[in-house]
Amino acid sequence: MKKLIPLLFFAVHLMALELISPIEDDLNVDLNKALLGKKLFMDPQLSHDNTISCASCHHLDKGGDDNRQFSVGVNNKMGNINSPTVFNSKYNFVQFWDGRAKDLEEQVLVPLHNPDEMNSNIQEVVEKLKKSQEYKNLFQKVYNDTIKEEYVIDAIVEFEKALITPNSKFDRYLKGEVNILSHVEKEGFELFKSYGCISCHNGVNIGGNLFQRVGIVKQIKYENKYLGRYNVTKDEEDKYFYKVPTLRNIELTAPYLHSGEIKTLREAVTFMMEYQIGVTPNAAEVNHIMAFLRTLTGNRPKIMEID
């Protein structure tokens, strides 16, 4: 396997440009549904004690995560895993670090029902919303019906589908503005390809489309308690496999890794070079790769400007 890796990376290098595609500019959502979903996403009534909304852990004015190592739910309960961004999550092949939700629809109820996150349940949420004339009118308008569980989920998912961040410098480069990247940024992209970062971080989300092991070329020494994909499959081979995270907007979403234990982008890139590529990182290369990664920051989702 070890001998195959360089070969694989070379093949990937050749295909590199096709391996990453830009985010679409258009929202492609039902706007009324998405706007209702936006209201629900930001509504603390979705938690049992009305203190926590989805946006408490997925800040929509920043990178779509909460910039904490671990998220804090109802009654100040601390979770044990880093909150990923909700931006561009519609492009992920499955949801969660261990992929236990097959899509966004399946994902919504997990935090809602988690006693350490929102500690609620969907029936309770529907009952609360039914007390609001404003919500009654909105559901009537959008679904032509009374408030129902499936509509709450559907609206939130529609909003999440609108949380895309198009028009990053790198996307503009992909679309033909070849001179938009500086020399250093281009150099960083070359390294990203030649080192094979792109073999795991690819697709429209530059991540989010496969599970991979952490410590693939250099064993991680610390005792890692969160077993990742293994939790779902119970297959020994899946221990320490995680959904490869997106690198879009990565400069905004520190701290890093599922464990949230890496505080800076520099350390994250250094860690990846050492444990996923097996090279001793040198400062100049790390700087170049970071410059490239910063070109992946896109526009704030358009839906945030629409009322």
Give residues in contact with ligand HEC (CB under 6 A): 46, 52, 54, 56-58, 71, 73, 79, 81, 83-84, 86, 89, 92, 95-97, 104, 107-108, 111-112, 117-118, 156, 160, 195-197, 199-201, 212, 214, 216, 242, 244-245, 247, 250, 253, 256-258, 268-269, 272-273, 276-277, 289
CB of 109 to ligand HEC, least distance (A): 8
Residue with tokens 């049992």: 48
Nearest alpha-carbon partner for 171 in 163, 180, 161: 180
Is 117 in the active site?
Answer: yes
Give the shortest CB-79-to-ligand HEC separation in angstroms: 5
Please choose, from the candidates 262, 263, 268, 258, the residue with its C-alpha nearest in 3D space to the C-alpha of residue 100: 258
Which CB atom, from 173 or from 241, has the smaller least distance to ligand HEC? 241
Contacts of 191 (CB under 8 A, 6+ apart): 197, 285, 288, 289, 292
Helices 183-194/283-294 angle, 10° precision:
100
Amino acid identity of residue 135, one-letter, is Y
DSSP state of 252: G
Point out the catalytic residue in the list 24, 106, 117, 251.
117
Q: Which is nearer to ligand HEC, 159 or 179 (CB)?
A: 159
Query: Among residues 135 and 195, whose Cβ is nearest to ligand HEC?
Result: 195
Report how far Cα 213 is from the mean position of its chain's Cα atoms.
18
Tokens standing for 145? Answer: 């019906």
Task: For residues 205 and 219, give the distance between their C-alpha atoms in angstroms, rounded to a whole number.
Answer: 27
Least distance (Å) from ligand HEC to the CB of residue 55?
8
Q: Least Å distance between CB 138 and ligand HEC?
A: 17
Residue 301 Cβ, how far from ligand HEC at the closest point, in Å?
14
Q: Looking at beta carbons only, is 143 or 226 nearer to ligand HEC?
A: 226
The smaller minimum CB distance to ligand HEC, of residues 126 and 244, is found at 244
Q: Pull the structure tokens for residue 21.
A: 């595609």
Q: Which residue has the tokens 């559907």?
A: 154
Catalytically active residues, by annotation:
117
